Structure 1
Amino acid sequence: MRRKHRTNRHSIDYIIKILLIFLLPVVLLDSIISIYVIHSMRSQTVQTLQDTTSLYISQIDTAHISINKYLIRRLTESDDFKTVLETDNKLELLHTFEKVHRDVDTFMESFEEGYQIFIYNKENQRFLRPTAVYQDLTAKEAEELDAALISYMNHHNALPSYSDSWEILKLKSDIYFFKIFHSGDNFVGCFISAKNIVKPLKQVDLGKDGFVALASPEGHLLTQTDKLKTQQLSFPKGDADSDVPLVSVQGSYLIISGALTMGSFHPLIILNKMQAYEQVIVIQFILAGAVLLVAIILFSSMLYMQQKVLRPIKAFSENLSRFDDSTEIMDFKDTQLLELEQANLQFKNLMRQIKKLKIDIYEKELEKQKTFTSYLQLQIRPHFFLNCLNTIYSMAQTQLYEEIMEMSMITSNYFRYIFQNPQDFVLLQEEVKHIEDYMKIQKLRYGDGFDYRIYTEKGTEHVRILPILIQTFIENSVKHAATSDEPIVVKTEIHWSGAAENPHKNIQIQITDTGSGFPEDVLYDLNHAQSLEPVNGHRIGITNAIKRLKLFYEKDTAAITFSNLPQGGACVTILLPANI
């Protein structure tokens, strides 16, 4: 008798009860997390206010330092400022004042609104304001402020000319912070009102009962004195040298205070604790409800994902597992999802591109190997080796033993470099040593009919370049020494070449000679990227060198130009990146 396979079936009610049982520890965990979050958010709230105060203090200090430097420079270096204060010519005064006005406006564009610059000459009692008109001052208030500043400058002959600290000016209309510098009878200064200097802090949301106040370095309240007295709050004194704003609790209020480096005032942020933390309480309830909602959504999502997503993905994965490099591109079907069908199409396109890329890389590697083989074949020239041996033999016949030893050592170093250097790139100092050996050999062969010069700028010796690259073009110059009646001089100069903002980005290698130069048709072909036709085994080296530059350097990072010098001779200039 066939047994029936029984599966456990449960009602929805049973599943909900099991889910609730699992949710109990989740709710407990949520409560613990909520407590931790509340504590963390309170700390973050205080930290945010501390950071805001520190940033505000830093901005004010930076602004005051910049303004101080500007005032000192204009007082000591600007002829326009001096002319405006001292000239008796009205036309010159109007013209120069307009220049001073534009200069000041340009400088003040980077600062908060409210900073006002003024200039004053004590001898002729000339007081001018080159900044924009006071938009937040009445005529009476401006007159009171001007009179107070003029009086201060007239009665403070001994004030330090170049101290950094700003000072406090208390008037009936407002509190002002100012700084004045003087040179002789000429004064230049800047001020800002208390209500303008605290504008950035007022943009912070401090709640209904929160406000911003200022206190002097000695602890005397400058603004909001009525509110502070009403709430029975006092100025908290901390470490004046500390960079971290002080946090204190007075009753139901939090007070964050800091100190400016310039020492002119202390900003105070006062806010109600309950208003500061009310968002934390709301978040606590949101977290509790969110846990229950998320649990329900997750349970429903699991069922949906199992039926509609996971099974199709599993089928898609099984199709992928049957793919390997040797198989043809397969068409995956029965995924039941539009996204997976689109992934199927993209995968097929990707596989086609990969196969095409493999073919391209393989073909490029073959071309690279072919060019490298040609390059090696080009270097192994039996006639050059035989010429070296013949030269040594001739020296032996004439008993030039020192020259024989020198020729043997140089020739040995030359061929060792060629046969033992399979690298794609070598240090420039090694390549320079090699071409120096090559030209020493030519010097020993041709005597006074050949000479050479090599110059290498300091630091370039550590740049990596293609081996035998420079020698290829030097050989082209040396071959004229055997047929020319005049001595041939080959110069090789290596310099840094880069923009001022990015020095040492490239190196420039320039090879010149005093021979007959390039034929016009050859020069045209070389500068128009046309391959040269080999003639009696020549021109192969230059063609291969150009190909190697294209193969081993990224596009537009290396360049080569050919020209003839006005006084006669060929010139080859190679520009290579210095970061290989």
Structure 2
Amino acid sequence: MLAFRTFSFYNPCTGKFTAHSLRLPEVNFRCKGAFLLRRSIKTRLIISFFLVMLPVVVFLIANTLYAKNVVRDKVSETYRSTLDMFGDKTDRTLNEISNYVNKMAVLDNDIGLLSSYPYGTDDYYLTKIRIQNKLQRDNVFYNPVNTLFVYNSQDLFFSTLGSYRNMNEMLHKQLPFIVTDNSVQSHVWKTWHDSSIDSGDFLIRIEEVPDSAIYVGAIVPVSELIGELSIQWKDGAIGQSAIFNTEGRQLDGNTENNWFPLAHQSALQSALKSDEPYRYVKDPQTKRRYLIMSRPSSQADFTTSILVPESYILQSLPFFQRATYFMTFGLVFIFALYLFFIRHTLFKPLQLLIGGMRKLTFGNLDVRLETNNTIEFVFMANTFNTMAEQIKELKIGMYEEQLRAQKFELKQLQAQINPHFYMNSLNIIYNYAALKDTDSVKKMSLHLADYFRFIMRVNRDLITLEEELKHIANYMDIQKFRFPNKLSCDIDIPPDLLSLALPALTVQPFVENAIIHGYANHRKPFSITIRGQRIHEGNTACLLLAIEDSGTGFPADILEHVNNSDASPSAEYSGGLGIMNVIQRLRLRYDGLANVRLYVAEGGGAGVRVILPITVEKDLIALAEKETVTTHAI
């Protein structure tokens, strides 16, 4: 696709940069960034590399995750079997002790007779001694029982393997509360705590003798169960174990033994109440993961739990994990080297070529590309440099041709003479000569000579605003000979603006157009007003000239035709040639910075507003040596 591109060339005649157009291939550099990125070679190469390597990386990661899951499952099953073995053994032992307590309370004759003897009699003490001997005998056989006791409201006797004094103190203090606790009498083992004994936490099982207020019971210290659990689990070598009551409190858990490293007990509580055979939890503080398994006892209200760090479970996989990570990082490193290589051999030359094309598109025809060792890019760079040189030569030829055409057009525009104006002026001179009015003939001849001298001047492109106004005054004097006492022209321009430079015949064609087309009724007076002031548009100082008349005004199609930046003459309005010529000359001169706009003046007449950027012309400073009066009437 071909399109015109605008280039700025230096005009040695005017000392200005003018705009010209060349037909070059259209390159849309204003496309959206996402669209360009999606279609770039770099993006496609990166995407293709990832499409090839991503399945490999995904396979390695998936293989590692699968291995981890297999190890977790197998190790968890092994640890679960170990925990179940301990739980089953503990439940069997507690069940045997429960059966013994139940037989003592229901089937033992001495305990049955004890309730029939009054307290303090010889038969009562003899029966008590026989029961005491049985308790001492059986206490050794039922491991891990620590204490067997018989209790009523008047008496307590027991057999213990621990401190007799501490146990006696604890039983006298706690048994009145224990026997009244309904949950203790529910034929299950209950956890209890008393700091007066060494273990602190213990399991207690009591059975009431039928038809009496006598209770037979057994006490198992939790420390005994923890000891057996530690022996079987090898506490600390693999993981850690503990026993919890139904409220989630660790039994026999002092500061040293409170080993569970979970920062928040909520994770532990949820794991204890879970029906899952095992689950993994994370410590919120250390971010470490642990395998936790729990098994509630069927004989007592406690739960046995073990905790194993995941790092220990996966200790056989670090090599494969590190190998996966190294392979991933190795692929990324290889990709980085690959990008560096193709950047040096492909991307960088392409960027240089694209940058050169962009500069060439924007008019910088002196750009040249350097070549590298790649054959393809050497050919492309040489071709680009040759193309740029040819475009530069073409630009110079086109510039010289356009400069000649511009000079010819400007001379032609300056040399345009309205034949009707010329013939009317000669007729006026003839009529004054016929009337032998020599003074009027002299004035008319001088005005006409000055008018043609100004029109035919070709040695200067710019004149001062004062010279333009003098030419307008000379033109109005000529027209006043045709329409005596009918025409007037008022000029209101500050003196400091009269020395400003502007192209010749910038204002006069609008005055001439006003008289030719706006002065329709020659019987009525016709006035023209020219005002000027300095304004600012952005950071640019401009000269504003407004030409208004009291005539018929512009037709609506001409207003739309000119104000829509259409500088071609209208077929329906042949008189607009002078206006269009002015607009074309100002556009060429000021590179589109000048502005001409038509409007309807007050009273319905025609109005023209001309805005020109103010420039300092050194060769015109000498022309503005004196100031003229601000407001004068012609």
* Class of the TM-score when normalised by the shorter of the 2 chains: 0.3 to 0.5
Highest CA radius of gyration, 1 or 2? Answer: 2
Q: Give TM-score, length-normalised by structure 1.
A: 0.39
Q: TM-score, normalised by structure 2?
A: 0.36
